[in-house]
Amino acid sequence: MIARKDVVLEFRSRTAFLSAAVFTALVLTVFNFGRDPTAVATVDLAPSILWVTFTFAAMLALNRAFQLELENQALDALLVAPISRTSLYWAKLIANAIFVGVVQCIGVPLFVLFFNVDIGSILVPLIGVIALATLGFVAVGTLFSAMVIRTRFAELMLPVLLLPFLIPPLIGAVQVTAALLGARPLSESVGWLRLLAAYDIVFLTLATLLFPVTVTE
């Protein structure tokens, strides 16, 4: 229900969502000019471009995940409401995942358009790996964003704390994406996919256990 509320709010106001989408488009554009097109083939750089963009987009989305609740003490209201802290975490997680997912739905076509990469034949596995890595991003990110809102320099604190945690899923996602774009068989990426899945499971469990601690008054 909270997840629905958040999603509905996002799409009603549209500002946060629109700015995240525009931000994604801009980062992709920046990448286009931040490389020497005669020296580096796009396909070599494509996985990094995609994933650095998604990392920043996810960060932007997570930064405001609990910001909304801080206004008018909505978070306090949520905490006194008869729902468990665990369901609050999962609601926030789902809302964040949907938010990031929709931004990615805009990011991927733009990426294809701007960098002229062909993803038609690998669409399903690509979406799979995006989902797997994004889940890892959001699992840790939701936990940390609940903490940083009550710190000073919250907008800066989240990236400083969160980026080290995004490194394992990022490495895995880039490797699998590179293998997919290079038309290499999926069996080559099994190790990375296992790592991504293990990361998701471990951090989802850990964050579910630790989240109640961060919001208790």
Partner 1 sequence: MTLAQRGRWVTATALVLLAGVYVRALAFTPIERFQGPAQKIFYVHVPAAWSAMLAMGLVGLASILYLLMKDARFDRFAAASAEVGTAFAMVMLTTGPIWARPIWGVWWTWDARLTLTLFLFFLFMGYLLLRGAVTDTSLRARYSAVLGICGLVLLPFIHLSVYLFRTLHPQPVVLKPSAPSLPGSMLATLLFSFGVFTLLYVGFVMQVYGLAAASESRGDG
Name the residues that contact partner 1, by CB under 8 A. 140, 143-144, 147, 150-153, 157, 160-161, 163-165, 167-168, 171-172, 175, 191-192, 195, 198-199, 202-203, 206-207, 210, 213-214, 216
Minimum gap (Å) between residue 10 Cβ and partner 1:
26
Q: Judge whether 46 and 115 are in contact, CB under 8 Å.
A: yes
Of the two residues 110 and 154, which places its CB atom closer to partner 1 in the complex? 154
The pair of structure tokens assigned to 145 is 């964003």
The beta strands (E) that lie in 96-152 are given as none
Of the two residues 131 and 161, which places its CB atom closer to partner 1 in the complex? 161
CA dist., res. 20 & res. 101, Å (int): 11
Minimum gap (Å) between residue 27 Cβ and partner 1:
23
CA dist., res. 179 & res. 185, Å (int): 7
Of the two residues 26 and 163, which places its CB atom closer to partner 1 in the complex? 163
Minimum gap (Å) between residue 1 Cβ and partner 1:
26
Angle at 3 between CA 125 and CA 98, to 5 degrees: 25
Of the two residues 9 and 201, which places its CB atom closer to partner 1 in the complex? 201
Minimum gap (Å) between residue 201 Cβ and partner 1:
12
Minimum gap (Å) between residue 67 Cβ and partner 1:
16
Of the two residues 16 and 180, which places its CB atom closer to partner 1 in the complex? 180
CA atoms 126, 131, 136, 142: torsion sign: positive
Length of the chain: 217
Of the two residues 135 and 143, which places its CB atom closer to partner 1 in the complex? 143
Q: Judge whether 176 and 166 are in contact, CB under 8 Å.
A: no
Minimum gap (Å) between residue 209 Cβ and partner 1:
9
Q: Which whole-number Å values give the CA distances from 44 to 25, 57, 113, 180, in the listed order?
A: 20, 22, 16, 12
CA dist., res. 189 & res. 136, Å (int): 18
